[in-house]
Amino acid sequence: MSAQNEDPKALPIGMARFGMPFVLGFLLLGLVVAAGGLGYLQQRLHGDIVTGLRTVGQGGPAWGLYICFDVMFVGFAFAGISLSALTRLFRIQTLWPVTRIAEVLAVISLMMAGLCVIADLGRPWHGLINLPRYARTNSPFFGTFTLVIGSGLSASLLYLFLDLRVDAAWWSNRVGLHGQLFRWCAMGFRNTAQEHRRRRRVSFWLSLVLLPLMLISYSTLGFVFGIQGGRPGWFGALQAPSFVILAAMSGLGIIMVVAALVRRALALQEQISERVFLWLGTTVAILSLFYVYLIGVDTLTSRYASSEAQNVVSREITEGRFSPLFWSMLACFLVPTVVLLERGLRRKPSIALAVLSGVLINIGAVLNRFLVVVPSQTHGQLMPWPTGRYEPTWVEFSVVAGLLALGTMMFLIYLQVFPILPLQTLGLSTPVAAPKEVRTRALLRRTAAWITFLGGLALALLGLALSARWGTPRPEGDPLLPGSPVMFLMGVVMMLAAALVYELFPSARPKPVPETR
C-alpha cells in the first residue's frame, strides 16, 4: 500500500492547502460575488429597468446576458457529464484524471445556471412557486426547468457522489474533520472486488442513461429558440444541434483551462499528463471546425433566398451593428482550431496553447450566444416596429461576474474538501478480496434497484401524463394535479437513484469491518 495512506494525517493531493494565495483569491472572489449581490439587489429594489433589457419592438431585447450565460453554464454541465460518461464507457485511460474536474464543474455550473434563470425572472419567488406547481409541457421551458436544472443537477450530483465514495472510503482513516466527512461519504464502501465490480457496472449503465438525458435536456434549451416561428434568426432546425456542439466545445475548453490551472497549482504534472491536453485540444478543434461549418450553413441559408426579416438579422450580424462581435467570434474559434489541430497532428502537446485556446473558445462562445440571443429580438421584427439596441448595464455584468466568481469559489471549496483526482489515477484503488462470509444478496439488491427504477419510471410517466393533460380535450392548461411537474422530476431522479440503491444496498454481514482496505 502507498506510504501516503499509512499516515493518517496526510490528505489526498491538493487538499487543505490554505496558503496566502488561496485566501487572497478567495477574498477577491468574495468581493466580486458581493458586487453581484449588490447588482441583483438593485434589480429587486428598482425593477428590471436597471438592466439593459427592454420591450421587444420598442427598442430592446427582452432577453440578454442572463439568458446567454444560462445557456453557457448548462453547456459546461453538458460537456462535463458527457466527457466523464464517454471516458467511462470507452475506458479512455488518458482522460481519467480530468473526469472528476469535469463532474465537479458540471454540478457547479448547473447550480449557477439555476441562479442565472432566477436572476432573469421578473418575479423570482413566483417562479420558484409557480414552476413546480404549474409547469406546462407545451413550453420548452418545461424541459429547461425539469430536465436541465432538476434532473441534470441531481444526475450529476449522483454521478459525482458514487464516484467520490470510492475515494472517501480509501481516505476514511484520516483524523479530524476530513476523516469524519470521508467516513460519512464512504457510506460503508469497503473497497472489495465485488463492490468495484458493482461500481463499474453502475458506472456503465449510468453513463449510458446520462448521455441521452443530457443530450435531450440540452436540446430543449436549443428548442427554446429554434421553434419560434415568429422570430427570424432563431427559427430553424439547426439551433438544437448547434447548441449541443457549441456546448461541447466550450465545455471541453473550460475543462482544459481548469485542468491546467489545477495541474499547475497543485503540482500534478505527473498525474495529469500532457496527453490529456492533446486529446481535449484535438477534440475541441474538430468540434470547432464543425461549428464554423454550421455557422456557414446557417448564414448561407438565411441569406440566399430566405425571408426579408431573416436576411436583415443575418446581415446585421455579419455586416451591421453586430459585425465586430461576429468576426471576433470567428477569430476566437478559428485561431484555436488551427493551433490545436497543428499540435494534434504533430502529436506535440502544449499546455500554454491549450489554455489560451480554451479561453479564446469560451470568449467566442459568449459572443456566439450573444449573437444567437440578441439580434433576432432587436432586428428580427416581422412587423415594422423600430429596431432595438442592447447594451448590458453594470447590474447585468456584475450579476454574471458574481455568478462566475461564486462558481469559482465553490470549486475552490471543493478542492479543500474532496480529492480532485480520482483514486484510479493515483493507482491506489486496489480492491481487496471480500471475506468469505460476506453475502452480497445480489438478487435482493437487484430487485430493490429494479423496483426503484420502475417506480421512478411509473412516477415520471404519471407526472408527465398529469402535466401534459394526456387524454383531455384541452392539452393546453394547468397540470391536472398541481405539482405534477415535480412528480415527473422526482420520477426521473428516482430512476437514476436506482444506481444508488444498487450500490448502497447493505450486504449481509453482521460484524464490523476490521479494516478499510
Partner 1 sequence: MSPTPASASRRGFFARAISFMGSVAAAVRPAAPRTLQVDIAEGGSPGDGPRAKWGMAIDLDLCTACGGCVVACASENNVPMTGTSEAEAGTSIAWMGLLPKAEVQEEQQLPELLPMPCMHCEDAPCVKVCPVNATYQNDEGLVVQISDRCIGCRYCMVACPYSRRFFNWKEAEWPETYRNLLNPDVSTRPEGVVEKCSFCSHRIRKLREESRVAEHTITDADLQRLPACAQTCPANAIVFGDLNDSESLVSRMAASPRSARLLEHLGAKPKVFYLARERRNDG
Give burial (CB, 10 Å; 0-12/13-18/19+) of 3. exposed
Query: With binding defined as CB under 8 A, does residue 58 bind partner 1?
Result: yes
Stretch that binds partner 1, among 181-189, 292-300, 439-447, 472-480 (CB under 8 A): 472-480
CB of 110 to partner 1, least distance (A): 18
CB of 250 to partner 1, least distance (A): 23
Residue 192 phi, psi (nearest 5): -85, 165
d(CA 332, CA 328): 6
Could you report how far apart the first and last alpha carbons of the chain are, in Å? 9
Q: Of the two residues 120 and 163, which places its CB atom closer to partner 1 in the complex? A: 120
Binder to partner 1 among 10, 35, 62, 245 (CB under 8 A)?
62
Count of residues for the chain?
A: 517
Q: Of the two residues 265 and 481, which places its CB atom closer to partner 1 in the complex? A: 481
Which residue from 279, 460, 284 is spatially nearest to 364, judged by alpha carbons? 284
Helix or strand run (H / E) with residue 460 = helix 442-467
Q: Of the two residues 67 and 401, which places its CB atom closer to partner 1 in the complex? A: 67
d(CA 399, CA 383): 33
Binding mask 94-123 for partner 1 (x = CB under 8 A): --------------------------xxxx
Binder to partner 1 among 451, 478, 506, 508 (CB under 8 A)?
478
Query: With binding defined as CB under 8 A, does residue 377 bind partner 1?
Result: yes
CA max distance for the chain: 80
CB of 151 to partner 1, least distance (A): 16
Query: With binding defined as CB under 8 A, does residue 488 bind partner 1?
Result: no
Q: What angle do CA 342, 346, 349 make, to 5 degrees?
A: 80
- The footprint of partner 1 on residues 9-48 (CB under 8 A) is 46-48
Query: With binding defined as CB under 8 A, does residue 57 bind partner 1?
Result: yes
Q: Where do runs of H (alpha helix) occur along 135-192?
A: 140-142, 153-170, 176-186
CB of 298 to partner 1, least distance (A): 19
Give burial (CB, 10 Å; 0-12/13-18/19+) of 224. buried
d(CA 468, CA 473): 11
CB of 236 to partner 1, least distance (A): 15
Query: With binding defined as CB under 8 A, does residue 349 bind partner 1?
Result: no
Size of site (CB under 8 A) for partner 1: 51
Stretch that binds partner 1, among 266-274, 359-367, 384-392, 437-445 (CB under 8 A): 384-392
Binder to partner 1 among 2, 4, 93, 138 (CB under 8 A)?
138
Q: Of the two residues 138 and 180, which places its CB atom closer to partner 1 in the complex? A: 138
3-class DSSP assignment, residue 439: strand
CB of 72 to partner 1, least distance (A): 18
3-class DSSP assignment, residue 349: coil
- Whether 494 and 454 have beta carbons less than 8 Å apart is answered as no
Query: With binding defined as CB under 8 A, does residue 61 bind partner 1?
Result: yes
180, three cell numbers: 469524519
Query: With binding defined as CB under 8 A, does residue 327 bind partner 1?
Result: no
Binder to partner 1 among 11, 13, 56, 262 (CB under 8 A)?
56
Binder to partner 1 among 388, 392, 407, 456 (CB under 8 A)?
388
Stretch that binds partner 1, among 346-354, 380-388, 407-415, 487-495 (CB under 8 A): 380-388
Which residue from 203, 194, 165 is spatially nearest to 89, judged by alpha carbons? 203
Q: For cell 439488491, what's the residue?
A: 445
Stretch that binds partner 1, among 17-25, 57-65, 208-216, 246-254 (CB under 8 A): 57-65
Q: Of the two residues 46 and 91, which places its CB atom closer to partner 1 in the complex? A: 46
Compute CA 117 distance to the chain's CA centroid, rounded to the nearest angstrom. Answer: 14
d(CA 407, CA 108): 6
Query: With binding defined as CB under 8 A, does residue 131 bind partner 1?
Result: yes
Query: With binding defined as CB under 8 A, does residue 435 bind partner 1?
Result: no
Query: With binding defined as CB under 8 A, does residue 385 bind partner 1?
Result: yes
DSSP string for 58-91: TTS-SS-HHHHHHHHHHHHHHHHHHHHHHHHHTT
3-class DSSP assignment, residue 327: helix
Q: Of the two residues 393 and 398, which places its CB atom closer to partner 1 in the complex? A: 393
Query: With binding defined as CB under 8 A, does residue 308 bind partner 1?
Result: yes
CB of 55 to partner 1, least distance (A): 5
- Whether 376 and 7 have beta carbons less than 8 Å apart is answered as no
The DSSP symbol for 434 reads P
Residues within the interface to partner 1 (CB under 8 A): 46-49, 53-63, 120-124, 126-127, 130-131, 133-136, 138-142, 145, 224, 228-231, 308, 377, 381-386, 388, 476-478
